[in-house]
Chain A
């Protein structure tokens, strides 16, 4: 039997039951749509986070308190033993090849006139911060100097969100604002840094670390940023940091990470996330496939007499098998194509509000899946049709 004949035959019988064909196809459409959309979301998220981490700089090392991923870490909160002195020790050791910036981070409310900005992330750090972290760039005014830092002057550099909420159209430079109960003078503002995981990096204010220590009564730091002259120095610098810190601390008290090592962790996590999302979507495609099998079985039963007649007139097993298999594949492939179009459309729309990147492999995967679903779930009904005995099929009422 010719291919064109088979195709026209399949199309005819599918269009003869338009509503039924559409509803069956809908199962595949939803499955393929979900795969494309969810994989796009996962990929978008991954690209976004990777971008954020690389924004910190590929030559950056960060030391954080506690041990991440260690088997020895108990489930509870571990005391933060990383101190400002540790940062100073690292700086002494690596002075020639690196900038070091310890950071104390606390959330606090900011006030200016009658306006308030809540939940602002207050970063207490050193004069080196802007040299150390790549995405901290001064837009207006100045950053504080190391003498201002050491003397604990109450000066502040504000992020874009703070600027917008507290000062609106006013020039913030020289204005005085409340951080908690203390008054600080604004000396500069930062360029926009964007949000990560819904955490607004621009809702921030930077103050000298000595001021932060006094205001919050802290000696522990939340992070020590170390930026080395070039990427090649990262292994050496990491080793030096470790040696220095181990003089006073144990391995459980700190974790040394780099942009690339944290990128690796995040990539692993988002890969698993993408897989899990894609897997859930694949289940819905599987359900769609069962729908195809179901409707094909109904179709074979309904057309038993037709099958008997075709066999009486000379159709071989293979002719009947191909006829019904092709119908199933047509159902699932047309569903696959519609699902791909809708999935790409939805991903593109979503990309305007949230992160979403359409990946070619997810399209091929979804298309391949829908073909496979058609073949696999169409096979059993088609085999059943091809094995009908012509005389019994002709007698069937």
Chain B
């Protein structure tokens, strides 16, 4: 069975300009991601992997090159359309969790569905279900500061799953966790991949990258080995 292509990057570059210097962060990145891939992008700090992640996540713009998401050229979209696209097709898992400190577990998880216009009863039902499968059924009304790091990252994963996105983008998801919790998070990601999600993982640890099916190495804004 031929796999459907989700992402195609064509010669992506990214430069940051200040008055004095121009920093070249990405220098012509091209690669494709197919449905149900599990890709780890690995590179040292400063390699441009986080910028690449932000571009794939539609959070940042490119300086040149083309980015096709599900076959559509994303450079044509305006800010609000990009927001909608992020909302429906991408689930984010950040290194620092990025949970709202004053909101409960449930309130954090339902955030993406609020912007998707899902009704209140439906989104609460769904969030509860997801949290139960991730072993947080008894933490629904806790605040982030009442949870361990591992639990917080699982809340963040639950949030990423809320709108059933095809693609999960995980940026150093284990970076702030102890080894045990990190392993748990990787297990969840692998599980999700088995259930059909496409996963792109950013990391600087070879140990973590090993969990992925494909490893992409990036240094100085270029892909080394595919």
Contacts and interface: CB of A to CB of B under 8 A. Distances in A.
Interface of A: 1-2, 4-5, 12-13, 16, 305-306, 309-319, 390-391, 394
A16 B100 CA distance: 13
Contacts of B115: 1, 310, 313-316, 319
Contact of B111 (A4, A310, A316, A390): A310
A183 to B, nearest CB: 87
Interface in B175-201: none
B182 to A, nearest CB: 22
Interface string B110-143: 0110111100100000000000000000000000
Given A5-B120, A314-B112, A391-B54, 15 more contacts: A2-B120, A5-B114, A310-B111, A312-B59, A312-B86, A313-B111, A313-B112, A314-B84, A314-B87, A314-B163, A315-B115, A316-B79, A316-B84, A317-B80, A394-B59
Contact of B116 (A306, A310, A314, A317): A314
Contact of A314 (B86, B98, B120): B86
Given A1-B114, A1-B115, A316 B80 contact: yes
Interface in B84-102: 84, 86-88, 92, 94, 98, 100, 102
11 contacts: A1-B114, A1-B115, A310-B115, A312-B92, A312-B98, A313-B115, A315-B115, A316-B79, A316-B84, A317-B80, A319-B115
Contacts of B59: 312, 390-391, 394
Given A1-B115, A310-B111, A316-B115, A305 B86 contact: no
B60 interface: yes
B126 to A, nearest CB: 15
Contacts of A16: 102
A314 B58 CA distance: 11
Contacts of B87: 313-314
B173 interface: no
B221 interface: no
Contacts of B79: 316-317
B83 interface: yes
B121 to A, nearest CB: 12
B54 to A, nearest CB: 5
A12 B102 contact: yes
Contacts of B92: 312-313
Nearest to A319: B115
Contacts of B154: none
A312 B57 contact: yes
Contacts of B111: 309-310, 313
Contacts of A306: 100
A318 B81 CA distance: 12
Contact of B98 (A2, A13, A305, A317): A305
B99 to A, nearest CB: 8
A318 B115 CA distance: 11
Contacts of B112: 313-314
Given A1-B115, A313-B92, A391 B84 contact: no
A319 B80 CA distance: 10
Contacts of A5: 114, 120
A313 to B, nearest CB: 5
B83 A309 contact: no
B159 interface: yes
What 8 A-B pairs have minimum CB-CB distances, sorted nearest first? A314-B87, A314-B115, A316-B80, A391-B59, A313-B112, A391-B60, A316-B83, A309-B98
Q: Give the residue among A2, A310, A312 with the most B Cβ atoms within 10 A.
A: A312
B141 to A, nearest CB: 14
B49 to A, nearest CB: 14
A314 B102 contact: no
A12 B88 CA distance: 27
B98 to A, nearest CB: 5
Nearest to B94: A394
A314 B114 CA distance: 9
Contacts of B84: 314, 316
A314 B88 contact: yes
B103 to A, nearest CB: 8
B193 to A, nearest CB: 22
Contacts of B80: 316-318
Nearest to B55: A391
Contacts of A319: 115
A14 B83 CA distance: 26
A306 B111 CA distance: 11
Nearest to A311: B83
A342 to B, nearest CB: 31
A16 B94 CA distance: 25
A22 to B, nearest CB: 18
Contacts of B98: 305, 309, 312, 394
Contacts of B117: 1-2
A5 B117 CA distance: 10
A206 B212 CA distance: 111
A315 B83 contact: yes
A305 B99 CA distance: 10
A314 B100 contact: no
A309 B86 CA distance: 12
A314 to B, nearest CB: 2
Contacts of A390: 59
